[in-house]
Structures are given as C-alpha cells and as structure tokens.
Amino acid sequence: MRNKRIKRITLALTKNCNLNCVYCYEHHKSSDSMTFEMAKEIIVKELTNDDEYGTVCIDFFGGEPFLEFILIKEICNFIKKKSWPKKYFFTTSTNGTLVHGEIQEWLLKNKNMFDCGLSLDGTKEMHNINRPYSYEKIDIDFFSKKLKSKVKMTISPQTLPFLSMGVIHLNEMGFDVACNLAYEMDWESYNMISVLEKELSILIEYYLKNPHFPVCSMLNLPISHIDGKFTDKIKNWCGSGVQMYSYDQEGKCYPCQYFMPISMGEYANQFENKRFEKIYVNEELSEHCRKCTLLKACPTCLGANYNENGNIRKRSLRYCNYIKTMLFANSYFKWQQLKRNQLKINDEDRYRLLRGIKVIQNEIRAI
C-alpha cells in the first residue's frame, strides 16, 4: 500500500539556455530537446509504477525550461486529461526572462497545481553581475505579487559583499529567499570568510528587528540536529538517487540533473555503480569530516562532490570554513530569537536547539 511519500522526477526538456551565468555548472549545452513522445513514456511509467510513492512531483528543467513552453503545455494537458493511480503536481524554476504574455496567462490559470520558482540573484546590480543584462527582462512584480513565487538566489564571489543587501531587497519585494554559495566557484582561494561574517551579521540584525519576514535559508540551517557526537551515518540531503531522479532528452535516468551529460559531459555515465541511499554509513568520509561534530548539519551536494572528487560521499573542503561560519551565525541568531521569544517551538525542540547552539559555539571557538 502506498504512503504519502513524494517522489520527485525531473524532466530535462532542453540543453539550451538563453543566458550565460558566471557560475553555471552546465558546461555542455546544445540545442537538443526532449520529444513529446519521450516525455509521455516517462510520465506513464512514473504515474503507474507500483512503488511506495503516492505522489509524483514533475519538475521541468533545462537549460531554461520555458524555451520549451509548448512542450510543457502538451505534457500538462496530456496528464490532466487522464486518470492516474497516483497524485501529481508540477514545478519548475526559471530565469524569468521569457515569462511574459501567453506564458504568464498560462501560469496564472494553472497556479493551483504548477509551482514556478524564480532565479533572481539580489538587486539589479548583483543579478546583472552574475547574469549579464537580464534583470531588466524579468517581470518581477508578476512573480512576487501574482504567482507568489519563491526565489533562488545564487551568490558568486563578486556578489558576496552585497549578500545582505540582496536578501533584504528580495524580502521586501515579497519573496521567500533560498540562497547559497555557487558550487562551481573555488571559494577556498577567494578567502572571503570575513565578508560572509559581516553580511550574515547584518542579516541577523535585520531579521531580529523584522521577525515577520521569512528568514533566508542561509540562516535557517538544521542546527538542532547537532548533538556533539561523532557519526559516520550521513544523510542524503536532497534525496538524489533515492526519491529524486532526473531524465535527460533521450529518456535515460540519472540521480539528479547534476549527473547528466549537460553537466558532466563524457563522465556522466561513470556513476552507475555508486550506492545512493537516504541514510548511509560513510566509509569513504574523509578524516577531516569524521572528526567534526558539526557534520549532521553540514549540507552537501552529491553531484558537486562527484564532479570535484569522483566520489559522491567525499565532500569538497572548498566550502568547509564558509559552512562553519554559517553554522556559527545560525547559532547566534537562533539564540537571539529564543531570548526574544520569536520562535514558537515545543520544549523538546527547544532542548535540541539549545544543545546544537552550545556544541557549535564550543566547536567554532576552539578552532
């Protein structure tokens, strides 16, 4: 009997994009696109598959997915006209530059079952540093006021000094902001820890004074998972290869889009003997990570790990000190929220959070 678990499948509709972002990890773009017949074949398989999932999230991806708007409509219409044994809903993330006119009208008509996120990298100046000459092409009011979209904000070394400005700008336009450092950058060589500390401090003061705004993801890490104990049982953060799968234009299935040929090129098919598990004992974990009590709240991307090290479990150390900086900021921020009674949590969650705060403070100060 199926439960309420959700399986996320990504359809990479195109290898093409109309932008050239400075941090893009898709280095093998082309004009290739998925056919409607291939999309139907994948959809039928996933919505009739007798597995433990009761709902399928169908995510449209690229390149830029709205270069294939006609295909998106065809797929959605095909699915809606039939009865399926599983529930479903649609998502996508767009650079926003093509979302005008007919596409806007269609998204509004289907917004009850189609979640469209926006990639927007802060202020106009920040965004255009990362994504040249594109901010002006986005109807930002449409996404903030009509779609109520969430924003994915990617930070490059060039825009990190303006992190707080960018997040505040987006919050005050009505967006819930997920932000992260770009995976493709060699952050270790940039030596910008002090910059990150300053920007997070500004954001903390902002959120403490404005508790009604949704806190950006960088200050909402799961620090209550930290208990001060060493572990080699590691969480698969994103569900890659477990409850999340991606299909390329030829219908081949990958653990996620990072493992596809558009990202990995000729190395894309060399991961197949790797184990993808939700919780796994990480015998390949580096000694550096094994000795870290913060590991349980340390986010990692299996695709980025594989791309850098050829090993999905071996974490990149490029981000280590940046992540520790974020965790320390989270511990201070959550403590201040608790003191101001800005967190509505039960006694058990409060205990776990206080335990995590104490471990982080002791660990970071000991470095």
Q: What tokens does 85 get?
A: 């044994």
Give me the chain's average pLDDT, please.
Answer: 92
Confidence of residue 303 (pLDDT cuts 50, 70, 90): confident
Asked if residue 268 has pLDDT above 60, the reply is yes
Of 137-151, 243-257, 261-275, 316-330, which has the strongest mean pLDDT? 137-151
What is the C-alpha separation between 172 and 31, in angstroms, rounded?
A: 38
In this prediction, residue 277 carries a pLDDT of: 80
pLDDT above 80: residue 269? no
Q: Is the pLDDT of residue 82 over 50?
A: yes
Q: What percent of the chain has pLDDT over 70?
A: 96
Other CB atoms within a 10 A radius of the CB of residue 236 amount to 20
Q: Is the pLDDT of residue 199 over 50?
A: yes
Q: How confident is the model at residue 332 (pLDDT cuts 50, 70, 90)?
A: very high
**pLDDT grade, residue 2 (50/70/90)?**
low
Using CA atoms, how far residue 296 sits from 222, 276, 289, 333, 364, in Å, is 8, 18, 10, 19, 15
Name the band, by pLDDT with cuts 50, 70 and 90, for residue 338. very high
C-beta separation of 126 from 89 below 8 A: no
Q: Is the pLDDT of residue 316 over 90?
A: no
Residue 1: pLDDT above 60? no
> Residue range 298-310: average pLDDT?
84
- pLDDT, one tens digit per residue, over 27-75 is 888 889 999 999 999 999 999 998 899 999 999 999 999 999 999 999 9
**For residue 273, what pLDDT band results from cuts at 50, 70 and 90?**
low
Query: Which region holds residue 152: left if phi is over 0, alpha if psi is between -120 and 50, else beta?
Result: beta
Cβ burial of 209 (10 Å; 0-12, 13-18, 19+) is: exposed
Q: For residue 48, give every residue at least 6 positions away whose Cβ sits within 8 Å of its Cβ, in sequence order, or none.
A: 84, 85, 86
Higher pLDDT, 235 or 339: 339
